A and B are shown apart, each in its own frame.
Chain A
Amino acid sequence: MQCAESKQAVGPYHDGELDVASADALRQHLSECTSCAMLSDQHARLRSTVRDGATYFTAPHELRLRVTQLAPKSAWSWLRGRMQLPSWAFAGALAAAVALSVAATLSLIQLQSPDALAREVVANHVRSLMVAHLADVASSDQHTVKPWFAGKLDFSPPAHDFSGDGFALVGGRLDYLDGKAVAALVYQRRQHRINVFVAPPANPSGERALTMNGYNIIAWTQDGMRMWAVSDLNAQELDQLRRLLQAK
């Protein structure tokens, strides 16, 4: 690879947009050419400066609320919407009856399926972001977070900071999941917030990963505790956090 070509390729290389062969050719060139290697270093520095240093503006609470209300999705609001059309009164009443029985059946199914729990995990995560109540104990120090849970729960959740691996512990709070008080540990990865819910398991279950409403969820059991990690972070990086937690 020549210098002219290499100067074009350095940006896409750091963006992970270069194919394997070109990336190899560029690396080869960088090992031989100091001026291109310097340019590549500058690119890497600029990239991390902006990524780690620029402000990421998160949506204000009231905006989130207003957007959520644009498309209401409760059974009550669809029924109410129907009732406002008198010409459809009869069909509406009939439909409402059908809808109610369908909704009732659906909610029964939901209660029984393990996905009901996943839904609750996502709901808790979203709520924690919405009400600006991310942490009851706000600290990146595990020796502050861990003792905070003592006396509030009948088990001791693992609270480790993984700042070195890009998962900074932000704090912890008490939450409620599946009818039980659980620990929620909050991590930050770049602009993404991650909730890790920790509960003693009701019955032993294996590892599972799923996506719900655009959020990624990983559930696993570790040291007799059931763990749920949930975030809008991509599944690979979320799994990296699971591995870090399991390695502890």
Chain B
Amino acid sequence: MLGFIDMQESHTRALRFARLVEPHLDAAYNLARWLARDAHQAQDVVQEACVRALRFLDTCKGDDGRAWLLTIVRNTFYSAWRRRPPEELTPDIDADHALWSESQEAWNLDPALLFLRKTERERIDRALLRLPVEFREVVILRELEDLSYREIAEVLSVPTGTVMSRLSRARGLLARYLKSEDE
């Protein structure tokens, strides 16, 4: 009957993986994409992170896998980054933008409004990309993933106080970058 127990266990694990990981794939990819600044590398990072997540499924306490998965994504990114020379990291945000506006175009037929939104979006994205990565990641986790300070502290493995000071500095820089874009 050992075989049956094995099967049942792998089935249970598969279900837990589906519950902890699959709903947060967009969040995982968004974080990886903002960290790596490259669509292909972001996909590799997420894929690798999900392999690790499956292997270390038991390290997730509780039933919400979001902060846990984002922690793995971030760690995977940093270990991959150290392996690769930084000049390989070429931003190709334009390709993603093209995809994004294509899908938006189908939803919104007013070209003038679309153009305004597109240029505004590019301006904000550029400012975010200018942030050093340790500041960029707190802004992404806070504003785009809507994580609490406690959750961000968990993802970065730093005290909450550090999260607050980094966010504050990141926002100062971001405000300055956005302002310089206006001029």
Please list the residues of chain A having a beta carbon within 8 angstroms of any beta carbon in chain B: 8, 11-12, 15, 17, 42-43, 46-47, 49-51, 53-60, 62-64, 66-68, 70-73, 75, 78-79, 81-82, 85, 88, 91-92, 94-95, 98-99, 126, 135, 138-140, 170-171, 190-191, 213-215, 232
- On whether the beta carbons of B51 and A70 are closer than 8 Å, the reply is yes
Closest to B148 in A: A17
B15 on interface, CB distance cutoff 8 Å: yes
CB-based contact B128/A50 at 8 Å:
yes
Q: Which of B23, B107, B174 contacts A46 (CB 8 A)?
A: B174
Most interface-central of A50, A138, A213 (chain B CB within 10 A)? A50
What is the predominant secondary structure among interface residues of chain B facing chain A?
helix
Q: How many A-B residue pairs have CB under 8 A?
A: 156
Instruction: State A66–B143 Cα separation when bound (angstroms).
Output: 28
Contact B25 A59 (CB under 8 A): yes
Tell me which residues across on chain A come within 8 A of B19, comparing CB atoms.
213-214
Q: Chain A residues near B142: list those with CB within 8 A.
A: 15
Interface footprint category on B: 35 or more
Specify the chain A residue showing the minimal Cβ separation from B16: A71
Asked if B75 CB lies within 8 Å of chain A CBs, one says no
Can you give 28 A-B contacts (C-beta < 8 A)?
A: A11-B168, A15-B167, A43-B171, A50-B124, A54-B128, A56-B26, A56-B144, A58-B26, A58-B29, A59-B25, A60-B39, A63-B25, A63-B29, A63-B46, A64-B25, A67-B21, A67-B22, A67-B46, A67-B47, A67-B50, A71-B14, A79-B7, A94-B1, A95-B4, A95-B7, A138-B107, A214-B63, A215-B23
Interface status of B79 (Cβ within 8 A of chain A): no
User: B121 near A53 (CB under 8 angstroms)?
Assistant: yes
Q: Least Cβ distance of B80 to chain A in Å?
A: 16
**Would you call A73 and B18 a contact (CB within 8 A)?**
yes
Q: Among B17, B30, B107, B175, which residue has its beta carbon within 8 angstroms of that of A57? A: B30
Instruction: Report the minimal beta-carbon distance from A12 to chain B, rounded to whole angstroms.
Output: 7
Q: Could you say which of B18, B42, B174 has the most chain A C-beta atoms within 10 Å of its C-beta?
A: B18
Contacts of B139 in A (CB 8 A): 50
User: CA separation between A76 and B149, bound complex, in Å?
Assistant: 43
9 closest pairs, A vs B, by CB?
Answer: A214-B23, A73-B14, A95-B4, A59-B29, A57-B33, A71-B14, A95-B3, A53-B124, A71-B17
Give Cα distance in the complex from A61 to B71, angstroms: 22
Known: A55-B97, A70-B50. 13 other contacts (CB 8 A): A50-B139, A54-B144, A57-B29, A57-B42, A58-B29, A59-B26, A64-B22, A73-B15, A78-B11, A135-B106, A138-B106, A191-B26, A214-B23
Given known A46-B175, A99-B7, A138-B106, contact A53–B22 (CB-CB < 8 A): no
Assuming the contacts A71-B17, A71-B54, A139-B107, asked whether A50 and B174 have C-beta atoms less than 8 A apart, the reply is yes
A51 contact set on B, CB distance < 8 A: 143-144
**At the interface, yes or no: B34 with Cβ under 8 Å from chain A?**
yes
Which residues of A are found within 8 Å of B108, using beta-carbon distances? 140
A12, A43, A55, A214: the one within 8 Å of B22 (CB): A214
CB proximity to A under 8 Å, residues B1-55? 1-4, 6-8, 10-11, 13-15, 17-26, 28-30, 33-34, 39, 42-43, 46-47, 50-51, 54
CA distance A109 to B35 in the complex (A): 45
Q: Is the CB of A11 within 8 A of B4?
A: no
Q: A140 to B105, alpha carbons, bound, how many Å?
A: 12
Q: Do A11 and B167 form a contact, CB below 8 Å, given A46-B175, A138-B107?
A: yes
**Inside 8 A of B134's CB, which chain A residues have their CB?**
none
Say yes or no: A17-B17 contact (C-beta < 8 A), given A11-B171, A55-B97, A59-B28.
Answer: no
B100 on interface, CB distance cutoff 8 Å: yes
